[in-house]
Structure 1
């Protein structure tokens, strides 16, 4: 028997109402495939352009990502990628930017470097009593820079030593005057003894005549002889005493020698006190300009010294060239120096090349920068015009480009 529902539906007209009939259960309905493969080149091109733009311009989001992760652009290669020349911070990143050129980090310094003026030896506990110069003053060798508070005590030492010298001079004068007086006294005693001896001889001659005539006794004659003999001995004794003073014998010379030695010792003490007085002042060791003052009146100078002094009449640049490139640098190579703070380019030539390989000292604040690079110092002498423009920028960090093409 036929199904009444099937026969009834067969008689109904077929009309399209825009709705798809639901698929029977157990059968998956398939969708038409769209052309996706055509978008792949466009996506790859967009990613490439975006990566190049991001590395070149480094937008804030990308820079924040690098700072957070500690990564640097191109750190996995030998040559940095999209790092501006002015931001090169380590000697490993210094590159040969063109054939014959070497780029290095440097700093501007006065000729002969910056001198930190310290207190004199032995004045480490002294404080600053007065400063006689200011920043920018030009000084000559030996000029007074500062006065320390130990000066009153040292001045007292000089006064005491000078007074001692005067005492010793008076003592020597007294010794010499004593010798002179003793000499005169000895001469007077000799003269008196000679007169007495002459009188004794006269009495002896008369007594002898009286004894021969029997007028005097033997006892009286012997007494006259004794007086004459004693007078003669007095003459010899006083003559010897006078001779000792005239020839400055050992004992007399010793008195004067002691006085002279005491005087010389006092003069030495005075000279030492005068030298010690220099510990109360600070003087310029060479000609130069005061670049900075590190202490104020009443302070005790520390390891930074009292002030910084430099000869800004001739400025130089100290460049740190990476050890693998130093062999290409020669004396006389032309150099150009640039920095953001400079108005234009500074020009100069290589004046000296260091003889020792040391550790890099010019670095940036990049935490990923290598601070243990091995470098050689190269001193660049700036020409007069560049030196005059650079004299206000001591210790300014610069980019130094050395043209080594002529030396190759």
Structure 2
């Protein structure tokens, strides 16, 4: 049987079409699978609006509203370290003069106290020296007098025995009355000598006691005078006045509470401090994004998740890492020009630590787009 060539051609075309259908079917299935995976990834990612801020947020440095700036020491963009002086208030010079006066008064009080202490100490030492002079020499003199008295007493006893013996001899007629009277006179004279020596001893002892009492009283008086002089100096009061003056002076020096960069200056030299404060400072060496994640999406955000930050102001997309998920739900704060945006939507703030902070260090409060990866 001979088959016409036209029929063969039709069959060949049909077979080719069927093969083409079967050959193209697998790629179509792969495409559908890839699209589904992409959709699932997109669903798991969280998008949000955010704003840039320095590490530790932006700090407003202020002062008493209405007080004037005497001298501004920094300018916008300048890097400062914790404790650096930023400005002097207009009252700085006056407080400085008060502090110097208080310091001089304290120094004068210390000098006066030193002089009074030296004088009082010298008086005490002099009185104590008198006590030593009284104790040692007069004690020796009293001892010598006691020894003299003892010697006289021995002589008196010997003369009294001679007198008794002469009384006996005179009765026996062995000696004359004159000899007996001489012995009696010698005993009486020695007795008088003994009495005089005892009187001298009593006088020495009384004088010594009186002198000791006077010297001890002088010591107490010198000690009291020293305490009185020290109390009149009022060193503690002068020291307190200096500390108060230093505290008042320090209040006229505006210092930075953190290390960072001066972002904005509101009050310059000669200007009064307003409600805005003096300046704003932030640590721009490490920038963060505060992303406002819808409360319905916050359960998908975890610490250490990666994030992509983009903005027309960026030279490129910047990567970041979720560092903190807020604990409070609030209203949206980041501005959005989209008229149909959910301005009253409730959101949770998520802080994202950025890499390559140097690229965006000068863009604090810039609105950015955030994609938090699963």
Which TM-score bucket, shorter chain as reference?
Answer: 0.5 to 0.7
Q: Distance in 1 between matches of 2:43 and 2:125?
A: 100
Once residues 282 and 186 of structure 1 are traced to their aligned partners in structure 2, the CA distance between those partners, rounded to angstroms, is 57
The alignment status of 1:232 with 2:202, answered yes or no, reads no
Per the alignment, residue 282 of structure 1 pairs with: 254
Inter-CA distance 223–391: structure 2 relative to 1 (3 Å threshold): same
Partner of 2:49: 105
Measure the CA separation in 1 of the matches of 2:323 and 2:349: 11
The Cα offsets for residues 273-313 of structure 1, whole Å up to 9 and x where unpaired, read as: 22332212122222211111111212222332211111211
Aligned to 1:154: 95
Q: How does 1:83-98 map to 2 (within 5 A)?
A: 98=42
Q: Answer yes or no: is the 8 Å Cα contact 2:335–2:367 preserved in 1.
A: no
**1:396 counterpart residue number:** 366
Corresponding position: 1:133 with 2:109:
no
Cα distance in 1 for partners of 2:237, 2:187 equals 67
Q: Deviation at 1:377?
A: 0.4
Q: Tell me which of 102, 113, 125 is aligned to 1:172.
A: 113
The TM-score with structure 2 as length reference comes to 0.67
1:359 lines up with 2:331 in the alignment: yes
Find out whether 1:327 has 2:299 as its counterpart. Answer: yes
Task: Measure how far apart 1:221 and its partner are.
Answer: 8.5
Deviations 1:230-281 (A, max 9, x none): 4122232145347658xx97x4774477468x32443243233223322121
Tell me: CA distance 1:223–1:312, structure 2 relative to 1, closer, same or farther (3 Å): same
Q: Confirm or deny: 8 A CA contact 2:66 2:274 kept in the other structure.
A: no
Alignment of 1:273-352 (within 5 A): 273-352=245-324
Which segments of 5 or more consecutive residues in structure 1 lack a partner in the other structure? 1-95
1:49 aligns to what? Answer: none
**Cα distance in 1, alignment partners of residues 140 and 65 from structure 2:** 78
Taking CA–CA contacts closer than 8 Å with sequence separation of 6 or more, which of the two structures ends up with the larger relative contact order? Answer: 2
Separation (CA, whole Å) in 1 of partners of 2:263 and 2:308: 25
**Matched-pair contact (CA < 8 Å) for 1:211–1:217:** no
Runs (5+) with no aligned partner, structure 2:
1-39, 153-185
Provide the TM-score with structure 1 as the length reference. Answer: 0.62
Aligned in 2, Cα 1:371/1:352: closer, same or farther, shift over 3 Å? same
Match of 1:379 in 2: 351
SS at match of 2:359: helix
Q: Secondary structure at the match of 1:273?
A: helix
Q: CA deviation at 1:171?
A: 3.6
Relative to structure 1, is the Cα distance of residues 187 and 350 closer, same or farther in structure 2, using a 3 angstrom cutoff? closer
Contact 1:108 1:316 in 2 (8 A): yes
The Cα shift of 1:351 comes to 1.8
CA pair 403-233 structure 1, distance change in 2 beyond 3 A? same
Distance in 2 (CA, whole Å) between partners of 1:212 and 1:191 is: 40
* Counterparts in 2 of 1:125 and 1:235: CA distance versus 1, 3 Å: farther
CA shift, 1:336, in A, is 1.9
Compute the displacement of 1:177 (Å): 2.1
* Counterpart secondary structure, 1:316: strand
The 8 Å contact of residues 128 and 219 in structure 2, kept in 1 or not, is answered as no
CA distance change for structure 1 residues 213 and 133 in 2, over 3 Å: closer, same or farther?
A: same
Q: How many residues align?
A: 299
- Structure 2 counterpart SS, 1:378: strand
Q: Distance in 1 between matches of 2:323 and 2:191?
A: 119
For the structure 1 residues 140 and 236, does the alpha-carbon distance in structure 2 shift closer, same or farther, using more than 3 Å as the test?
A: same
1:397 is displaced (CA, Å) by 1.0
| RMSD (Å) for aligned C-alpha atoms | 3.8
Specify whether residues 331 and 197 from structure 1 end up closer, same or farther in structure 2 by C-alpha distance, changes over 3 A only. Answer: closer
TM-superposed deviation, 1:354: 0.8
1:331-376 deviation per Cα after TM superposition (whole angstroms, max 9, x unaligned):
2222222223333322222221111112221133677765432110
Equivalent residue runs for 1:37-76 within 5 Å? none
Structure-1 separation of matches of 2:296 and 2:237: 63
